[in-house]
Structure 1
Amino acid sequence: MADQDQNDPKSIASPNQLTNKRSSVTAANLAMLIDSDDDDDDDDDQDDLDDDKIDALIKTEDSQPLTTKDVTNMILEKLKNQMLEPMKFSSLTEALETAQEDQNHLIFIVYCVDWFNLARQTYDNFQSIAKDKDILVFFINQSSNDYVKENYNDIAGIPTIKVYYKQIPIKIKRNDLEYEWTDEERLKGFISPTNLQELVNECKDCKNSYDSQQASDSILPLNLEVKLGFLIYKY
């Protein structure tokens, strides 16, 4: 029997058939396709998935369709693989014990992850202040079981900053009524180097004021707080 003419309408797949076939591309094969595109940095066009390549990966009807969760997991895995230099995390227990026992330093506890570029920028920004003799910085992995158990409502990847001095958590307030919110003991969001330095300076002023009152036998405040003049996106 002669081959069927390619121009025969019966031999042309309907749009619905093509859509169904496209949806059956597996997560594993699409992940391989994305990785292969990244290998060629000289051609920006390789950043986009080529339809012909997707068609080549079309599977039979018994294949599992690509779900939203599959795509999300692939993206997260890709981000993790891009972060080659490991971040140095401490345990939450170690950080909190230091915050309870240390009497000399400002304790910055930064909750972040190592697989999101903006979170890693926050980590890098803190490296400069970590050299300050008055400051100790602890990085806590938001993907750790201990953190997830205690903060299951938080969104992993959005950095959270807490500051302690002499066992007292420093409350962070907005120095602008338009953006003021209820007293909080943490700052959530991505903080720039300039804004981080402002936070450090305000915390140092708070520390010095507390030490001066303690030295003069004045009544010590039960709470410590700082007011920030910059706007950071509040989650």
Structure 2
Amino acid sequence: MIDFGFLWQAFVRLIAGLPITLELAATAILVGTVLATALAIVAHLRVPVASQCVAFFVFCIRGSPLLLQMFIIYYGLGQFRHELQSWGVWPFFREPYWCAITALVLSVGAYGSEIIRGGLKSVSAGLIEAARACGMSGFLLYRRIILPIAFRQALPAYGNEVILAVKATSLASTITIMEVTGIAAELISQTFRAFEVFIVAGAIYLTLNFIITRLIALLEYRLSPHQRDLPVKTNIEARP
């Protein structure tokens, strides 16, 4: 039998790690989106050398597990402590929180850049030519025409990346960060009741991702006024 009293106690314990989970996810998504946009623009413009570097970076991040990347940043960079101290960045990389943020940002940036690049390629040449005919070019063209359309086209797929980023925060528990999954592992070691604890942890993640999917759907609805209340097309012809 499931002890509902223990489920409530586990929920109270686990919910204490939710702020850390939200901080990790929000920072990774916001900073990662900026990075993804910059990488996508460089790749889309095919800037010499830079676009090849972007392609190599995306290949490395997408081709290796996020957990391995997190271990390399947290454990591996410690071997270069003297070099990092000389550069003044060792206080940053010695903290597990910032190591987790770095790994998550790089992951969101790499995966998100491919999604946004697909959105950039979906912008029709006719719209770009029309904008140029109106005198737009360079940064103004991207800010007013290309990027808004690209983000709208990429939003459904990017919503999946946001959800994956939230779930990926659970890997931060492997480098001693006590977010929801980290607290769950600690609670299991104390009570040996893995089933109930993981059920509660899963419910927290499900609820959080449900809210995120609803917010993304609302944003998609707000950005698509032209697709609201479209007439339904049928192949049935009215008879006289």
Answer 1 or 2: which has greater helix percent: 2
Q: Which structure is richer in relative contact order (CA contacts within 8 A, separation 6 or more)?
A: 2
TM-score between both structures, scaled by the size of structure 2: 0.24
Give the number of the structure whose residues are more often strand, by fraction: 1
Give TM-score scaled by structure 1 length: 0.24
